[in-house]
Amino acid sequence: MSFNKLHGLFAAHKPAGITCSQLIGTLKTSLLKDLNASQKLYLPTFVEVKQFGKEAPNDGKETSNENQLWKVEEKKDLRFHPLVAGPYFNRLNVQVVSGGLDKKSSGVLVLSIGRASQYIPAYQNALLPRQYHVNMQLGYATSDYDAEGKVIVKSTYRHISREKFDRVVTGLTKTSRRYNSNYSGLDMQSQEAYDIAVSGKLESVTLFNQPTILTAKCLHFNPPYVSLEMECLNEDNDFIRDTINSLGIKLKSSAVTSRINRTKDGPFTMEHSILRKHWTLANIAQCIKDSKEMVKPFIKRKDMFLDELADEQVKGQPDVQIQ
């Protein structure tokens, strides 16, 4: 793969403690460093013509150049040397495709590079679910619903059993779907709702642009420490923390979120996201190549597909080969 074909979507693992902007900055620095290191030094040449020997004295009379010798040399133009003009590659277009991860959270972060940013709206409008593993702690509540916030409430949790916890967690999905159905203004008992359901478009009507919990289940229960697996749409980390706080209230106790880790974003899973130590040009180029078939059903456009975008050549850019 060459630099001219370095366009596509891929997933990176975002560690906790950094923002998405900081991740993109680190990623760009690593890619630009590899690009400039792989670029073979090419300098344009120019022809220099100069007189061989001393110039004849000018006495006001016309002299003939027939007997004069000229030296013609082809030299490299050092004005374009990286030590003079700077590195050839100095910018890259890397954008977040599917956000929702703040500084405290971690997990799969889908990014676009190059001209593949034009597929961001199509990917976002595909209503792809995202899966999270959420660690929570029972017994107290904070001002921002996060474990590191200021404690405002303390409560008991000894009365919470696994059966009761599972029952309340199951109710989260029903409550979320009922709220979104009411918000959409669609009467679920009407003929219109029936026709939309038959056509298979009910989910896109009732869940569009509203945070929704599709599934939720308990992975580990050892009070006060509990872990959940949640599959959501249109959510962000504030919505998840607010949900955990509401869950604690429904359990007649209180709860805070201690960790949020995204394990899946549409077709991308933890296996597809590359770690910080693997943010190199060769690895990212391979990830883009491997992800083409995964994202193709979700980013189709009438005028261009991802394969055609990758096969296009960018005028004015060197064809740097990526090993």
- The answer as to whether 58 is a domain residue is no
CA distance 173 to 216: 7
Judgement on whether residues 112 and 236 belong to the same structural domain of the protein: no
Task: Please list, in sequence order, all residues whose beta carbon lies within 8 angstroms of the beta carbon of residue 140, skipping any fewer than 6 positions away.
Answer: 151, 153, 154, 155, 254, 256
Return the minimum-mean-pLDDT range out of 32-41, 153-162, 264-273, 275-284.
32-41
Tell me which residue has tokens 């595909």.
Answer: 126
**Residue 283, CB half-sphere, CA atoms under 13 Å: how many?**
14
Judgement on whether residues 194 and 96 belong to the same structural domain of the protein: no
- The answer as to whether 120 is a domain residue is yes
Measured over all CA atoms, what is the biggest interatomic distance in the chain, rounded to whole angstroms? Answer: 115
Which among 31, 211, 17, 1 is positioned nearest to 127, based on CA atoms? 211
- The answer as to whether 206 is a domain residue is yes
Within 10 Å of residue 34's Cβ, how many Cβ atoms? 20
Judgement on whether residues 136 and 257 belong to the same structural domain of the protein: yes
Tell me which residue has tokens 């203004």.
Answer: 185
**Do 169 and 218 form a contact (C-beta atoms < 8 A)?**
yes
Last residue within a domain, chosen from 224, 241, 265: 265
- The answer as to whether 40 is a domain residue is yes
- The answer as to whether 123 is a domain residue is yes
Number of domain units in the chain: 2
Last residue within a domain, chosen from 226, 242, 265: 265
**Residue 32, CB half-sphere, CA atoms under 13 Å: how many?**
15
141 pLDDT band, cuts 50/70/90, is: very high
Task: Please list, in sequence order, all residues whose beta carbon lies within 8 angstroms of the beta carbon of residue 231, skipping any fewer than 6 positions away.
Answer: 129, 130, 131, 132, 213, 214, 215, 216, 264
Q: Is 77 an annotated catalytic residue?
A: no
Judgement on whether residues 92 and 199 belong to the same structural domain of the protein: no
- The answer as to whether 186 is a domain residue is yes
**Do 113 and 92 form a contact (C-beta atoms < 8 A)?**
yes
Judgement on whether residues 15 and 143 belong to the same structural domain of the protein: no
Judgement on whether residues 226 and 275 belong to the same structural domain of the protein: no
User: What is the per-residue pLDDT for 299?
Assistant: 77
Q: Mean pLDDT across the stretch 258-285? A: 93
Judgement on whether residues 319 and 230 belong to the same structural domain of the protein: no
Of the residues 102, 166, 236, 242, which is catalytic? 102
pTM for the structure as a whole: 0.75
Range of the domain at 94: 1-48+63-127+269-323
Q: What CATH number does the domain containing 134 carry?
A: 3.30.2350.10
Judgement on whether residues 134 and 169 belong to the same structural domain of the protein: yes
Task: Please list, in sequence order, all residues whose beta carbon lies within 8 angstroms of the beta carbon of residue 299, skipping any fewer than 6 positions away.
Answer: 9, 119, 122, 123, 126, 306
- The answer as to whether 187 is a domain residue is yes
Which among 19, 38, 118, 14 is positioned nearest to 285, based on CA atoms? 38
Judgement on whether residues 208 and 285 belong to the same structural domain of the protein: no
The share of the chain scoring above pLDDT 90, in percent, equals 44
Last residue within a domain, chosen from 265, 281, 313: 265
Adjacent-strand bridge partners of 16: none
Q: What is the mean pLDDT of the chain?
A: 80
User: What is the per-residue pLDDT for 103?
Assistant: 94
* Tens-digit pLDDT profile for residues 229-262: 999 888 899 999 999 999 999 999 999 999 999 9
CA distance 23 to 12: 9
pLDDT exceeds 50 at position 183: no
Judgement on whether residues 219 and 187 belong to the same structural domain of the protein: yes
- The answer as to whether 54 is a domain residue is no
The helix (run of H) or strand (run of E) holding residue 274 is strand 273-274
User: What is the per-residue pLDDT for 316?
Assistant: 43
Judgement on whether residues 224 and 96 belong to the same structural domain of the protein: no
Judgement on whether residues 254 and 295 belong to the same structural domain of the protein: no
pLDDT exceeds 70 at position 138: yes
Cα–Cα distances (Å) from 59 to 50, 62, 63, 70, 204, in that order, read 21, 8, 9, 21, 92
User: What is the per-residue pLDDT for 225?
Assistant: 96
* Tens-digit pLDDT profile for residues 80-126: 667 665 667 778 899 999 888 999 999 999 999 988 888 898 888 88
Within 10 Å of residue 295's Cβ, how many Cβ atoms? 26
